[in-house]
Amino acid sequence: MQQTNNEYLSLPFDRHNMAVYLGADRSALSRELSKMRQEGIIDFHKNQVHIKKHVF
C-alpha cells in the first residue's frame, strides 16, 4: 500500500484478496467500505482509495 501527499492510497489487491488478507468476509468488507463512503470518510474506485476525512 502506498500513500502520497494528496491522501490517495493505491492498494495492491482487489476486495476479495483484501478480505482474505484481513480475515474478513468480502461482503462485510464491501458493506463497511460503502458505509465509510456514505459518511464522507473515503471515496474509492477499484483499488484506489481517497481519504476525505480523518476520524482519529
User: Per residue in 5-53, pLDDT tens?
Assistant: 458 989 999 999 999 999 999 999 999 999 999 999 999 998 899 999 7
- The predicted structure's pLDDT at residue 24: 97
Q: How many domains does the chain have?
A: 1
pTM of the model: 0.75
Question: Residue 4 — pLDDT band, cuts 50, 70, 90?
Answer: very low
Q: Using the 8-state DSSP alphabet, how is residue 4 labeled? A: -
Residues in the chain: 56
Q: Nine-digit cell at 42?
A: 473515503
- The predicted structure's pLDDT at residue 7: 86
Domain that holds residue 27: 2-51
Distance CA 41, CA 38 (A): 8
- The predicted structure's pLDDT at residue 21: 95
- Residue 38 maps to a domain: yes
- Chain-centroid distance of CA 27 in Å reads 13
- Residue 36 maps to a domain: yes
